[in-house]
Amino acid sequence: MKTELYLLSAHADREVGPPWDQEIQRRIETDPVWAREWQTHQKVKAALAGLKDPAELEASQKQVRDRLEAFIEIKQNPIRHENTRLNFVRLLTTAAVFGLIVGGFGYWMGSHAASASASTVAEVHVKLPANYTPPLNGDSELIKMTSFEGSTR
Partner 1 sequence: MTGEPGDYNDFSKVYDAWFPLLFRIVYRMTGRRDISEEVAQEAFIKYYERRDILPKDEGLKYWLIRVVRNLALNYEKRKGRERRAVERHFHEPTHETGHEGERALVREETIQEVQAALLKLPYNLRIVLILKEYGGFAYAEIGKMLGITEGNVKVRVFRARNQLAQLLGKEGT
What's phi and psi for 130, nearest 5 deg? -65, -35
C-alpha to C-alpha distance for 147 and 7, rounded to whole angstroms: 113
70 touching partner 1, by CB under 8 A: no
7 binds partner 1 (CB under 8 A): yes
* 153/143 Cα distance (integer angstroms): 17
Q: Which helix (H) or strand (E) holds 69?
A: helix 57-76
Q: Is 5 in the site for partner 1 (CB under 8 A)?
A: yes
22 binding partner 1? (CB under 8 A): no
CA-nearest of 140, 138, 108 to 121 is 140
Answer for the pair 126, 120: CB distance below 8 angstroms, yes or no: no
Closest distance to partner 1 from the beta carbon of 46 (Å): 9
18 upstream amide cis, omega within 30 of 0? no
In the complex, what is the shortest distance from the CB of residue 75 to partner 1, in angstroms, rounded to a whole number?
8
Q: Give the number of residues in contact with partner 1, rule: CB under 8 A.
A: 38
Return the residue of 47, 109, 116, 143 that touches partner 1, per CB under 8 A: 47
Member of 20, 22, 26, 64 binding partner 1 (CB under 8 A): 64
**Residue 5 Cβ, how far from partner 1 at the closest point, in Å?**
7
Instruction: Rule CB under 8 A: say whether 20 interacts with partner 1.
Output: no
Q: Which of 20, 26, 39, 121 touches partner 1 by CB under 8 A?
A: 39
CA 52 – CA 64 distance, rounded (Å): 21
Please tell me whether residue 61 binds partner 1 under the rule CB under 8 A.
Answer: yes
Nearer Cβ to partner 1 (72/145): 72
